[in-house]
Amino acid sequence: MPLKRRQIAWRAAQDLADGAYVNLGIGLPTLVSDFIPEDREIVLHSENGILGVGPAPGANEADPDLINAGKQPITLVTGGSYVHHTDSFLMIRGGHLDLALLGAFEVAENGDLANWTTDDPGFPPGVGGAMDLAVGAKEIRVLLEHTTRSGAPRIRRRCGYPLTAAGAVRRIYTDLAVIDVTGQGLVVREIADDIDFAALQARTEAELRPGPDLKPLRAPTV
Amino acid sequence: MIDKRVQSLAEAVAGIKDGSVVLCAGFGGAGLPDALCEALIEQGARELTVVANNAGTGRAGLAALMAAGRVAKIMCSFPRSSGSVVFEELYAAGKIELELLPQGTLSERMRCAAAGLGGYYSPVSVGTRLAEGKEHREIDGRVYVLEKPLKGDVALLAADRADRWGNLTFRKSQRNFNPTMAMAADLSIVQVRRIVELGELDPEVIVTPGIFIDRVVQVAF
């Protein structure tokens, strides 16, 4: 079965290393915080100057002074702290974050990332912290649906949309597969149960190779 | 005697000139100097260039200043968010100019100005549209673009507490852009929830020392 969005987030969460400092980009990656394995302590960074982003507050407990990068109310975990914005981006740009999990419109076989604009004339463009994260975090992994709603591939030879950063992405999680970006091209590590490799390739513009230990991509109902 | 306290919002924004570069703090709904933005509408300054992370939410604060037609240009990283109706209307009608910057670049350019530096080399945006036209330089095998300092004529700020010296403490994610913008403007004006006696703020907890602050006004927000 292709994974649902929450399941893609679950799968990405399984790869979090204990003790990692992690930024979750807006959109699909924010769901990852719901699935952090219990045996791992992760410090979540929010670009507006928070280390130790905690779960959403209860209904009557939202504090308007405490929000995340998506402007949603959050709580602070024990051990958390606040910094001003320039120091927050020092953490990002200066390579202090172990990992950023980002959404994407497209990813290319060389790791190019496009996730800030589709040049839609009806939409004023916005970039936020995407370019900083893409260049600064020690590692970038992206979460996205394998194709657009109309079936066009999002994993491409080269991105059609304006780039956020060149060569940034190391691992891609989709509803159909887990794929690594390597020096020798895209390598599929896991593939959803009822899709065969040829069907996966048919939905992908870039060339895919199966990894030596290719496994099924499965996620629990979450 | 040092006393940065002013008695009214009108006094807080007095003298801000037409054409000013206004650094406007806040991220989403936190740390927004809404009362100061709205006082600026009363005051009448126009043709402003506003530097902010977002481009206003709802119809209060910065959004109200924009709706009043006072903002000619906005330099920001993420103008569109849920509730950014005023910006979207103005943008669609061609009534406001937008200059988009990566969020970290916005912050670091202001810090650069605050620090008296001539610029800095950044790896952010290299290889993308936002690096077009900028000087590129390879340093130790990595390509950077030159970013210039970004100074404000005015900073409009929000903090939790202040004393008469202008020392500031913040509350949680209210902090965001406030400390850097305070340092990067010629005239830094802050609205605070509470003005306390000198000495009441623990020096270990003061985030923005009063050296960077010119005017303090107490507002309920």
**What would the mean pLDDT of B115-135 be, rounded to a whole number?**
98
Q: Is the pLDDT of residue B82 over 80?
A: no
| Cα A123 from Cα B28, distance rounded (Å) | 19
d(CA B159, CA B47): 27
State how far residue B210 is from chain A, nearest Cα, in angstroms: 16
**Inter-chain CB proximity B129 and A163 less than 8 Å:** yes
Taking CB atoms and an 8 Å limit, are B28 and A67 in contact across chains?
yes
For A67, which of B30, B101, B179 is closest by C-beta distance? Answer: B30
Domain ranges of chain B: 17-100+151-218
Give B40-80 pLDDT, tens digit per residue.
999 999 999 999 999 998 899 999 999 999 999 999 999 98
pLDDT digits (tens, 9 = 90+) for A1-43: 899 999 999 999 999 999 999 999 999 999 999 999 999 999 9
B95–chain A Cβ distance below 8 A for any pair? no
State pLDDT tens for residues A82-117: 999 999 999 999 999 999 999 999 999 999 999 999
Contacting residues for B57 by C-beta, under 8 A, at least 6 apart? B28, B29, B63, B81, B83, B84
Please report which confidence band the pLDDT of residue A184 belongs to, taking 50, 70 and 90 as the band edges. very high
* pLDDT band at residue A129 using 50, 70 and 90 as cut-offs: very high
CATH number of B17-100+151-218: 3.40.1080.10
Q: Which residue in the list A47, A106, A109, A205 is annotated as catalytic?
A: A47
**Number of cross-chain residue pairs from A and B with Cβ atoms under 8 Å apart:** 133
Q: Which residues pair with B142 in a beta bridge?
A: B139
All residues of chain A having their beta carbon less than 8 Å from the beta carbon of residue B183 are none
User: Which tokens hold the place of A180?
Assistant: 């690594």
Residue A215 has which token pair?
Answer: 């496994």
Chain A segment 119-138 residues within 8 A of B by beta carbon are 122-132, 135-136
Q: Catalytic: A109?
A: no
Contact A124 B98 (CB under 8 A): yes
Which residues in chain A belong to E strands, given as ranges? Answer: 21-24, 43-46, 50-53, 76-82, 99-103, 106-108, 113-114, 140-143, 155-156, 169-173, 177-182, 185-192, 208-217
Q: What is the mean pLDDT of chain B?
A: 97
CB within 8 Å: B77 and A46 = no
Looking at beta carbons, which residues of chain B come within 8 Å of A89? Answer: 103-104, 107-108
Nearest to B176 among A48, A64, A125 (CB): A48
Dump pLDDT digits (tens) for A78-90: 999 999 999 999 9
* Binary contact (B179, A76; C-beta < 8 A): no
Q: Is the Cβ pair B207, A84 closer than 8 Å?
A: yes
Kindly list the structural domains of chain A, giving each domain's residue range(s) and its CATH number in brackets, ordered by start: 5-217 (3.40.1080.10)
> Hey, what amino acid is at B221?
F
CB B193 within 8 A of CB B221: yes
Provide the whole-model pTM.
Answer: 0.96
